[in-house]
Amino acid sequence: MSVERHYTTQPGAPLVELHNVSRRFLRQRDRRRSFQETFIQFFRRRRSPADEFWPLQDISFSLLPGDCLGVIGPNGSGKSTLLKLITGILEPTGGSMAVRGRLSSLLELGAGFQPDLTGRENIYLNGSIYGLSRRQIDTRIDAIIDYAELGDFIDTPVKHFSSGMYVRLGFAVAIHTEPDLLLVDEVLAVGDMAFQRKCLKSIHDFRYQGGTLLLVSHSLDAIQSVCNRAIWMDEGMIQAEGATTDVILQYQRHVAVLEDGKRAAVSLPPSGVGQRWGSGNVQITQVDLLGAAGVPQSVYFTGQEMSIRLRYQSEAYVEAPTFGLAIYHDSGVNLFGPNTDLGKLSIAGIEGQGAVVYTIPQLPLLDGNYTISVAVVNHNDTETYDFQDRAYSFQVYPSSRRDGYGIVTLQGKWSFHPQESVTVISPQPQVQVSRPT
């Protein structure tokens, strides 16, 4: 184990360099907290290897000046431990590492604030925790106060602050320390929308000014938009490393496969959230979501083929039923509600068992959770035989050919016409609505 730390950057050398770094923890965290336990421990055998676990194993990577590295992975994959090693809060158990340059971490905003001191006094205290001298803070204090948007509250003890103000002040101090390397751990999830946007903008600015960044986040969008490289960690090891888009995609694929496995085990039960009603003359007995090969699956990628199969059963002969479904986004938006009537599929009558299939050749949905309602009604929609409201769900991940953000892809095409003169169409202030008379 060797650790090297310098407070200045060295030209050409990586800011952070890790070689086969490992870290061990002992599972029994309360061990030997008192003399009594030490005494008991003395008579026991040495601890068994089962008591230890390794949140980090053989981690190697380096971070060059100007890089922005995103770290993704599920909870408990060792991301935070990695940051703690780099900041120096924890020491590695094995391997060698070097850190060159001043670093500042946005691990916990406002850690170290003294509740009885005013905002201004806490800026000095917090700044010095980050290693700034009094003079350095003097030159920045106005910018910090301005940034934190605290107004007159700056001379109030911070115990009277709202939690938002607290975090704003913490972020303002941390971002103004002008470090060579900024470590960010999920802080973008704090504050209101406006402040979150401001944080993100500051992080972007920091990056454009040549700062080096290490960002840990569950928000893949944030990683995608800020980072040029990414690491996917799982079970204390680096699973993938490289360009952000590639790593994110691999991670999402992995999660998709895992979730699909979990869901297949329970074979799409009605989720229970939805209500079911109807006369029951025709019953929808089963709903299957099928992939291209006709295999049931509950996780799809944008652009894949997807079929929704409704199995029905009716005791007696029912004339001209209409089958329909509706796809909802998690946000509650009804995206599309096709039915056999509008789809010009005429069914003369049904008796016994059968199935109706709705096929989407290229799923236009982007990432998110979706739920499906299914229904069967009589010809002129006066009697509902069976209605299952948002009883089935599936998930979509964006494919590598993602062409935009949002809920759906409209599959439009871009074109570029540099020589063409563009006629500007002035927007119409009034919209003509023809009223039926």
Partner 1 sequence: MVRRLRDLARYRGLVRNLVVSELKTRYKSSALGFVWSLLNPLGMMMVFTLVFGVLWPNNQIEKYPLFLLCGLLPWNFFSASVNSGMNSVVSNGNLIKKVYFPREALPIAAVLSQLVNFLLAFIVLFAVLLIFRSHLSPWLWLLPVIIVVQTCFTLGMVLMLSTLHVFYRDTAMIMEIVMLAWFFLTPIFYSISQLPPYYELWGMNLNVHRILYILNPMASLINMYRDMLYYGYRTDLDFFLRTAITALAVLAAGYWFFIRYSSRFGEEV
Per CB under 8 A, 245 contacts partner 1: no
Binding partner 1 by CB under 8 A: which of 95, 100, 130, 240? 130
Angle between helices 119-129 and 163-175 (to 10 degrees): 40
| Phi, then psi, of 30 in degrees rounded to 5 | -90, 5
Cβ atoms 260, 290 nearer than 8 A: no
All residues at 6 or more sequence positions from 9 whose CB lies less than 8 Å from its CB, including other chains: 15, 65, 100, 101, 180
Per CB under 8 A, 128 contacts partner 1: yes
Per CB under 8 A, 34 contacts partner 1: yes
Location of structure tokens 């020491």:
91
Binding partner 1 by CB under 8 A: which of 13, 53, 121, 225? 121
Closest C-alpha to 287, from 299, 276, 296: 296
Neighbours of 160 (CB within 10 A): 11
Binding segment for partner 1 (CB under 8 A), chosen from 80-88, 280-288, 301-309, 419-427, is 80-88
Q: Residue 271 CA to chain centroid, in angstroms?
A: 24
H or E element that contains 247: helix 244-266
Per CB under 8 A, 114 contacts partner 1: yes
Cα→Cα distances 228→241, 252, 297, Å: 11, 18, 33
Per CB under 8 A, 124 contacts partner 1: yes
Per CB under 8 A, 38 contacts partner 1: yes
Per CB under 8 A, 112 contacts partner 1: yes
- Is 174 or 240 the residue whose CB approaches partner 1 more closely? 174
Cα→Cα distances 52→22, 23, 35, 409, Å: 13, 10, 22, 48
- Is 65 or 92 the residue whose CB approaches partner 1 more closely? 92
Per CB under 8 A, 134 contacts partner 1: yes
- Is 131 or 261 the residue whose CB approaches partner 1 more closely? 131
Cβ atoms 337, 387 nearer than 8 A: no
- Is 174 or 318 the residue whose CB approaches partner 1 more closely? 174
Closest C-alpha to 14, from 133, 99, 91, 103: 99
Number of residues near partner 1 (by CB under 8 A): 33
Binding partner 1 by CB under 8 A: which of 57, 77, 105, 322? 105
- Is 32 or 218 the residue whose CB approaches partner 1 more closely? 32
Neighbours of 268 (CB within 10 A): 18
- Is 43 or 208 the residue whose CB approaches partner 1 more closely? 43
Structure tokens at 281: 């003359």
- Is 130 or 312 the residue whose CB approaches partner 1 more closely? 130
Binding partner 1 by CB under 8 A: which of 20, 51, 131, 361? 131
Per CB under 8 A, 116 contacts partner 1: yes
| Phi, then psi, of 283 in degrees rounded to 5 | -120, 135
Binding segment for partner 1 (CB under 8 A), chosen from 29-37, 60-68, 292-300, 370-378, is 29-37
3-class DSSP state for residue 409? Answer: coil
What is the Cα–Cα distance from 212 to 229, expressed in whole angstroms? 12
Cα→Cα distances 246→232, 241, 243, 269, Å: 10, 9, 6, 34
Binding segment for partner 1 (CB under 8 A), chosen from 83-91, 214-222, 279-287, 310-318, is 83-91
Binding partner 1 by CB under 8 A: which of 16, 98, 132, 145? 132
Shortest separation between residue 103's beta carbon and partner 1, angstroms: 8
Binding partner 1 by CB under 8 A: which of 91, 155, 192, 315? 91
Per CB under 8 A, 141 contacts partner 1: no
- Is 134 or 417 the residue whose CB approaches partner 1 more closely? 134
H or E element that contains 229: strand 229-234
Binding segment for partner 1 (CB under 8 A), chosen from 84-92, 336-344, 378-386, 408-416, is 84-92
- Is 87 or 313 the residue whose CB approaches partner 1 more closely? 87
What does DSSP say about strands 282-290 and 212-216: parallel, antiparallel, or unpaired? unpaired
Exposure b/e, 123-145, CB count within 10 A at least 16 = b: bbebbeebebeeebbeebbeebb
Burial of 166 (0-12, 13-18, 19+ CB in 10 A): buried
Residue 12 amino acid letter: G
Binding partner 1 by CB under 8 A: which of 108, 138, 146, 205? 108
Contacts (CB under 8 A) with partner 1, residues 153-182:
157
Binding partner 1 by CB under 8 A: which of 117, 264, 290, 360? 117
Per CB under 8 A, 129 contacts partner 1: yes
Chain residues that interact with partner 1, rule: CB under 8 A: 7, 25, 32-36, 38, 84, 87-91, 105, 107-108, 111-112, 114, 116-117, 121, 124-125, 128-134, 157
